Amino acid sequence: AISASRLERGRAAARQYASELAAIEQKYGVDRRAVLGIWGMESNFGKMKGSMSVFCSLATLAYSGSRKAYGYEQMIAAFKILKTGIVKPDSFTGSWAAALGHTQFIPSSYVSYAVDWNADGKKDIWNSRQDALSSTANYLAKAGWKNDRPWGWEVILPKDFNIALIGRGHWKTVAEWQKLGVKRADGQKFGSPTADAFVMVPQGVNGPRFLVTKNFMAIMDYNLSHSYALAVG
């Protein structure tokens, strides 16, 4: 997911859109890099927004498989979007699961979190980069993102670390984890001593170890996947 070319596209976008990203960060209190990370993961910075009929996708999901409830819920939200006139039925396109626009909002997320950043009277996450990125920042803010801490850090655990403390059932402050011997893998200082965090080992105790804050959970609110949230981070 994090290819060299995607990273370079992200860096180029950060430079090209620096002023608008700064304004979005200032308004919503969400790190612009997290917004860029989601944009990169979801559509490769607008290159792959999806070309499938939203209603065909949702009808299929509502009819068969294990996501019928999701399909029905999202179909109702899609009709609400259509009613606004922002899109016409024949151009209402998205992914196979009806994810929409630059940052691949599902229809219910559009209804709840989309904003009209450029004040043209339309919440256009398909054709307006500014609307899409500000809507994503709004989503993360509502999901609990706080800009006084990062999403997390790769860490080194001490040899005598109690592995029973691993997992999201064991939140402690960063300062408390430090007292238990947890250190940043890059040797730098943590900062954010009062931020709550938990230890995560997505590939098992012998793989990379991470100390992640509630900002990580805000990213997972966007997509319920450890791998996804790590890639964004």
Residue pLDDT, tens place only, 27-83: 999 999 999 999 999 999 999 999 999 999 999 999 988 889 999 999 999 999 999
pLDDT at residue 65, rounded to an integer = 81
pLDDT at residue 226, rounded to an integer = 94
Is-contact 195 213, C-beta < 8 A? yes
Asked whether residue 192 carries a pLDDT value surpassing 90, the answer given is yes
Is-contact 232 37, C-beta < 8 A? yes
Helix (H) or strand (E) holding 184: strand 183-184
What pLDDT, in 10s, does the model give residues 103-156? 999 999 999 999 999 999 999 999 999 999 999 999 999 999 999 999 999 999
pLDDT at residue 66, rounded to an integer = 87
pLDDT at residue 181, rounded to an integer = 98
pLDDT at residue 43, rounded to an integer = 97
From CA 116, how far away is CA 122, in angstroms rounded? 6
pTM (predicted TM-score): 0.95
Percentage of the chain beyond pLDDT 70 is: 100
pLDDT at residue 1, rounded to an integer = 85
Would you state the structure tokens that stand for residue 200, as one six-digit string?
Answer: 């995560």
User: What are the two backbone dihedrals, phi and then psi, of residue 17, each rounded to the nearest 5 degrees?
Assistant: -110, 30
> What is the average per-residue pLDDT within 90-95?
94
pLDDT at residue 67, rounded to an integer = 87
Residue with tokens 């994090």: 2
> What is the average per-residue pLDDT within 218-226?
96
> What is the average per-residue pLDDT within 9-15?
97
From CA 229, how far away is CA 222, in angstroms rounded? 9
